[in-house]
Amino acid sequence: MEFVRCTSVFDEKGRFNPSFDETETKVLEADTVILAIGQTPDLSFIEDEIEVDRGVIKVNPRTMETSLPGVFAGGDAVSGPASVVEAIVAGKMAAASIDRYLTGK
């Protein structure tokens, strides 16, 4: 992965407006790259059957199943902004629950 040097993150009015020095780069070898850029999930497509509270999807914390049976959720859509590690854990929990749901175990 090649990176470009960031010289500033905010403009003179304090707004997010990064500037870069394209002449200064660094290459790092990686097997996996996880994109975590602090965006908020767009939940506008969520149906009425799926309960949303304070901008996040409500789930059973043990199974990650939503209020609509057979629909599972995880990551920032459930917890709000959190760490990548927390999102991965939620994804693994949801995957295990989905497997149990589909196989009837």
Kindly state whether residues 62 and 96 are assigned to the same domain.
Answer: yes
Whose structure tokens read 């709000």? Answer: 80
- Dump pLDDT digits (tens) for 22-65: 999 999 999 988 777 767 788 888 888 999 998 899 999 999 99
What pLDDT does 70 receive? Answer: 95
Residue 8: inside a domain: yes
Q: How many domains does the chain have?
A: 2
φ, ψ of residue 90 to 5 degrees: the values are: -60, -40
Global model pTM greater than 0.85: no
Do 99 and 67 lie in one domain? The reply is yes
Q: What pLDDT, on the 0 to 100 scale, is given for residue 38? A: 67
Give domain status of residue 98, yes or no. Answer: yes
Q: Does 61 fall in a domain?
A: yes
Same-domain status, 29 and 66:
no
- Asked if residue 86 belongs to a domain, the reply is yes
* Local confidence band at 84 (pLDDT 50, 70, 90 cut-offs): confident
Task: Flag whether 41 is in a domain.
Answer: no
Q: What count of Cα atoms within 13 Å lies in the side-chain half-sphere of residue 36?
A: 14
Q: What is the residue range of 80's domain?
A: 52-103
Q: What's the mean pLDDT when you consider all of the chain?
A: 91
Residues 99 and 56 in one domain: yes
